[in-house]
Structure 1
Amino acid sequence: MVEKSEYGANWEGFIKMLLNRLEIPTKEDIISLHGRLDKLEQLLYQKQPTAKKKRAKPTIRRKSASSIFLAVIANHPKGTNFKTLRAATGFNDKKLRNIIFRLDKIKRIKRVKRGIYKKA
């Protein structure tokens, strides 16, 4: 004897039973999930009340490392050495070497002799 299932013996019933057993979502399930996701997105993007209005902090414009370096060199018209530059700026050796290389390449400083630099 053939067992009767809740889906019937036709092709549509077989497909519904297969989808159910394999836990594959149907079109209705996906539409329902999209509706729930839309509701969640609307809740997330709703304007939330704020307790206090925050004042915007004024932005402080900081000098670049190269401009600090050039300001120190400008104080020494005859030129200054690497040790003095390191002490005045507080930069580490690698950063100072990179700044010196870059500024020398664009002709903003001049190498007087080894380790002595002045503003061009």
Structure 2
Amino acid sequence: MEQPTEFSNNWESFIKMLLHQLDIPTKEDIANINKRLDKLEQLIYQSHPSSRQKNKSRTPRKKSASSIVLNIIGNHPEGTDFKTIKAATGFDDKKLRNIIFRLDRIKKIERVSRGIYKRI
């Protein structure tokens, strides 16, 4: 019965020696590295907790083209024409027509007469 334990001890020592010579990390080595990385991440987060929040607040949200057109139409309660909207936005005809069509379809604006639009 002593022979299997000696054989298993020799086998384990052989594997350890082989891992050491080939510079292959063991499970314990990887676990230690993970613990150290966790500690480093915690230290980084503790030293700069608000850096992510500051970056988000610095970048203003860009308005969509539809909301820009809707605001311009809303500034004229009696209604406004296509030329006025085009001059205020600087959008080309096709883009502006598509936006007006979509806003009319979802009932955000109404067509008062040909080329005159009013916010609902």
Alignment TM class, shorter chain as reference:
0.5 to 0.7
More helix by share: 2
Match of 1:110 in 2: 111
Larger Rg: 1
Question: Segments of 4+ in structure 1 off by > 6 A?
Answer: none
Match of 1:20 in 2: 20
Match of 1:65 in 2: 68
Structure 1 gaps of 5+ residues are 1-8, 51-55
SS in structure 2 opposite 1:109?
strand
Q: TM-score under structure 1 normalisation?
A: 0.56
Structure 1 residue 72 displacement after superposition: 5.0
Q: Sequence identity of aligned pairs in percent?
A: 49
Q: TM-score under structure 2 normalisation?
A: 0.56
RMSD: 3.6
Structure 2 gaps of 5+ residues are 1-8, 51-56
Match of 1:34 in 2: 34
Mark the CA change 1:101 to 1:44 in structure 2 (over 3 Å): closer, same or farther: same
Residues paired across the two proteins, number: 97
